[in-house]
Amino acid sequence: MQTRLDMERIRAARRVIDPVFLDSPLYRCEALEPVLGCSLNIKLETANPVRSFKGRATEVVADQLARSDSRAVVCASAGNLGQALAWSGRHRDLDVTVVASRFATPAKLDRIRALGATLELVDGDHELARQRAAAIAHSEGIRLLEDSLDLETCEAAATIALELVPCLEPYDDPLRPLRSADRPPEYGRPVVLVALGGGAMATGIGYVLKTLTPHVEVVCVQPHGAPAMTRSWHQRRVVSTDTTNTIADGVAGRHPIPEVLEDLLVVADDAVLVHESSIITAIRLLHDHAGLIAEPSAALGIAAVLEDPARFADRPVTTIICGSNVDQTKYRNWI
Amino acid sequence: MQTRLDMERIRAARRVIDPVFLDSPLYRCEALEPVLGCSLNIKLETANPVRSFKGRATEVVADQLARSDSRAVVCASAGNLGQALAWSGRHRDLDVTVVASRFATPAKLDRIRALGATLELVDGDHELARQRAAAIAHSEGIRLLEDSLDLETCEAAATIALELVPCLEPYDDPLRPLRSADRPPEYGRPVVLVALGGGAMATGIGYVLKTLTPHVEVVCVQPHGAPAMTRSWHQRRVVSTDTTNTIADGVAGRHPIPEVLEDLLVVADDAVLVHESSIITAIRLLHDHAGLIAEPSAALGIAAVLEDPARFADRPVTTIICGSNVDQTKYRNWI
């Protein structure tokens, strides 16, 4: 399997990531199963200081920088990466700059500021923020952290999958975290549903699962309102879009990165698009039946099951609740 | 320190509890700190199959029963213990009966039924359910699981405190789960705020902390609407009440158990009462600033800080979010 990712580096990433981000909860959520028609495991990446999985990546990057001569870093972010980089940089005395769209979720921007990073807002979308971050890095000669392009972001996200593997292996594995009696009967092929944006999480998790549990289907999920990477995956070439229109701010890119697409073509079994209404229903179901607050990007997996129940019927489904940083006014409307 | 609890049994409990309940998330929640005026660590006991800490206790009890000749058990429950006992009993083929008030939170009762337990409702409050459960156990000759009286429930809850100890120890402890840089400066004496109902969690956690980290203050929190155990603690004798009136259904007992009170007098530094309005504010703050759904009993610690900010100002506060099983209609009103 030819990708940019490397299993040894992924295992090494675990050793530098603060334990507060590792070994996040993984459990069966039976209350949602009758609604979804499948069995459901939840991997919860929100019970940590930055309420998203991005801390895994920024820990790796900040650890590198802290060991180097360069102690300044800039990234573009829809909010979660920036918040995590601010957190990881703060206690290593790094100089962190985050560039974000002025239309980003205000709660995420507030947290970036509160964590002591310099926040620069651009009058455009995430792609403009990416350009601006690159310009800052170039003019100031500092590290540019590019989500999904920089391998650390993919390989750190891949550590999530290392933690999934035991529950995806056959029942007789003595190391499984879920005891056999609480695991649903495996009527069908296990499937892991991963939110797809820039591709860091999807390529990272896909790489580990395809390497260690090749029987597991890896399905990426993106909103119809931000379909660039999914279209690219299906056409096997980079397809950009002119605009995005989705509540799932965390995955709303327009210009897929060629190297990431190459990896995704190797490790993903499918990429599907879901409607905004399904994302909102998924958010509400997670609230009502699982007691979880999920941001829209974190609800994409559940939305995919809602849109194609026949495909997932009676199968063991695992999805990653990858963030909970929501705008509270919008959230109250969604639920 | 003379109590009924035993550290070796507490450590042994960890070995029979399903790992899905152990090592729950523990992290600093900075977003709430400016609102509360203290530093705040959250111990999250809701990211598991039964959405409360009660699974720790029922795992220990169900493990005992599965090794014995008696495979039937009955308990009274406000909902969380019954749900957890149903879960633990199901995959050990135990015959589980749960007695609850017909005024219990419907979502909790639904989950007890869904997990395959026999549910019997009584036309009264939790104290009547306790009497009925005892009568069933007596007439059928089966195990009665009595929350807080049965040592397993206290010692299993005490395993939570074993997981807290590393973050309460001095900064130079190499085993701490939170790296020093993410730990707030310790301006004052660390305090752990524990919801107080029957007393299982409070005595369990108090015992471990007083044994291993005696410098930590242990403060129990109960609603004014269900003050029996708090009054008993202050008067050093059992004080019952005629009624309860609180949204915190999980802690709404009227008749404290003498043996539990004896233990609580040894291990708790204080017991305080909070108003319903503070509990609701705490629920809303946890929702808005921490992204967490907490049932009323789980919000008691935050409510205590809200009611007495001067007492906790600038101190390192740790609280246990012990359950998230809420009535969704009520919850939407609270937030």
Same domain, A139 and A87: yes
Do A157 and A56 contact (CB within 8 A), yes or no?
yes
What is the CATH classification number for the domain harbouring A72? 3.40.50.1100
Q: Looking at beta carbons, which residues of chain A come within 8 Å of B324?
A: 291
In this structure, is residue A329 part of a structural domain?
A: yes
Confidence bin at B179 (pLDDT 50/70/90): very low
What's the confidence (pLDDT) of residue B182? 55
B272 pairs with which residues across the strands?
B221
pLDDT digits (tens, 9 = 90+) for A135-173: 999 999 999 999 999 999 999 999 999 999 988 875 444
CB A49 to CB B28 under 8 A? yes
Same domain, A232 and A313: yes
In this structure, is residue A150 part of a structural domain?
A: no
In this structure, is residue B2 part of a structural domain?
A: no
B288 to chain A, closest Cα gap in Å: 6
pLDDT digits (tens, 9 = 90+) for B254-265: 999 999 999 999
Do A274 and A224 contact (CB within 8 A), yes or no?
yes
Q: Which residue of B has its CA nearest to A331?
A: B288
pLDDT digits (tens, 9 = 90+) for A198-236: 999 999 999 999 999 999 999 999 999 999 999 999 999
Q: Looking at beta carbons, which residues of chain A come within 8 Å of B92?
A: 181
Same domain, A122 and A251: no
In this structure, is residue A169 part of a structural domain?
A: yes
The DSSP letter of residue B294 is -
State percent of chain A over pLDDT 70. Answer: 95
Same domain, B179 and B214: yes
In this structure, is residue B1 part of a structural domain?
A: no
* Pairwise CA distance, residues B264 & B270, whole Å: 10
CB B177 to CB A46 under 8 A? no
Q: Does residue B176 have a pLDDT over 60? A: no
Same domain, B157 and B226: yes
pLDDT digits (tens, 9 = 90+) for A76-90: 999 999 999 999 999
Q: Which residue of B has its CA nearest to A333?
A: B332
Per the document, the length of chain B is 335
Radius of gyration of chain A (CA): 19
Confidence bin at A181 (pLDDT 50/70/90): very low
pLDDT digits (tens, 9 = 90+) for A1-50: 899 999 999 999 999 999 999 999 999 999 999 999 999 999 999 999 99
Q: Does residue A103 have a pLDDT over 60? A: yes
CB A181 to CB B92 under 8 A? yes
Do B229 and B196 contact (CB within 8 A), yes or no?
yes
φ and ψ of A77, to 5 deg: -155, 145
* Pairwise CA distance, residues A165 & A156, whole Å: 15
Confidence bin at B177 (pLDDT 50/70/90): very low
Same domain, A190 and A275: yes
Interface test with A, best of B17, B28, B182 (most A CBs within 10 A): B182
Do B306 and B325 contact (CB within 8 A), yes or no?
no
**Boundary of a domain, candidates B145, B175, B196:** B145
In this structure, is residue A2 part of a structural domain?
A: no
Confidence bin at B174 (pLDDT 50/70/90): very low
**Boundary of a domain, candidates B115, B145, B175:** B145
Query: For chain A, what is the domain count?
Result: 2
Q: Does residue A180 have a pLDDT over 80? A: no
Confidence bin at B166 (pLDDT 50/70/90): confident
Same domain, A35 and A102: no
Q: Which of A45, A30, A38 has the alpha carbon at shortest distance from A307?
A: A38
pLDDT digits (tens, 9 = 90+) for A290-303: 999 999 999 999 99
* Pairwise CA distance, residues B270 & B252, whole Å: 19
Q: Which of B91, B90, B4, B18 has the alpha carbon at shortest distance from B60?
A: B18
**Boundary of a domain, candidates A110, A145, A180:** A145
What's the confidence (pLDDT) of residue A210? 97
Same domain, A224 and A317: yes
Q: Tell me the count of A-B CB pairs closer than 8 A.
A: 88
In this structure, is residue B237 part of a structural domain?
A: yes
Same domain, B226 and B257: yes
Q: Half-sphere exposure of residue A236, counting CA atoms within 13 Å on the CB side? A: 2
| Reported ipTM | 0.94
Q: Give the C-alpha distances (Å, rounded to integers) separating A157 from A16, A26, B114.
A: 13, 15, 35
Q: Containing domain of residue A26, as a range?
A: 7-49+155-334
Confidence bin at B3 (pLDDT 50/70/90): very high
Q: Does residue B201 have a pLDDT over 90? A: yes
The DSSP letter of residue A184 is P
pLDDT digits (tens, 9 = 90+) for B8-36: 999 999 999 999 999 999 999 999 999 99
Q: Which residue of B has its CA nearest to A33?
A: B114
CB B91 to CB A325 under 8 A? no
Q: Looking at beta carbons, which residues of chain B come within 8 Å of A332?
A: 335
Same domain, B311 and B327: yes
Interface test with A, best of B24, B328, B333 (most A CBs within 10 A): B328
Q: Which residue of B has its CA nearest to A52?
A: B291
Query: What is the SS3 assignment for B119?
Result: strand
Query: What is the SS3 assignment for B175?
Result: coil
Confidence bin at A183 (pLDDT 50/70/90): low
Do A108 and A80 contact (CB within 8 A), yes or no?
yes
Same domain, B139 and B155: no
* Pairwise CA distance, residues B303 & B36, whole Å: 10
Same domain, B285 and B320: yes
* Pairwise CA distance, residues B91 & B34, whole Å: 45
B118 to chain A, closest Cα gap in Å: 18
pLDDT digits (tens, 9 = 90+) for B96-136: 999 999 999 999 999 999 999 999 999 999 999 999 999 99
Nearest by CB to residue A48, choosing from B27, B48, B288, is B27
What's the confidence (pLDDT) of residue A184? 53
Q: String of b and e for A170-201 (b: at least 16 CB within 10 Å)?
A: eeeeeebbbeeebbbeeebebbbbbbbbbbbb
Q: Which residue of A has its CA nearest to B50?
A: A29
In this structure, is residue B80 part of a structural domain?
A: yes
Do A182 and B88 contact (CB within 8 A), yes or no?
no
pLDDT digits (tens, 9 = 90+) for B49-94: 999 999 999 999 999 999 998 899 999 999 999 999 999 999 899 9
What's the confidence (pLDDT) of residue A14? 97
CB B91 to CB A293 under 8 A? no
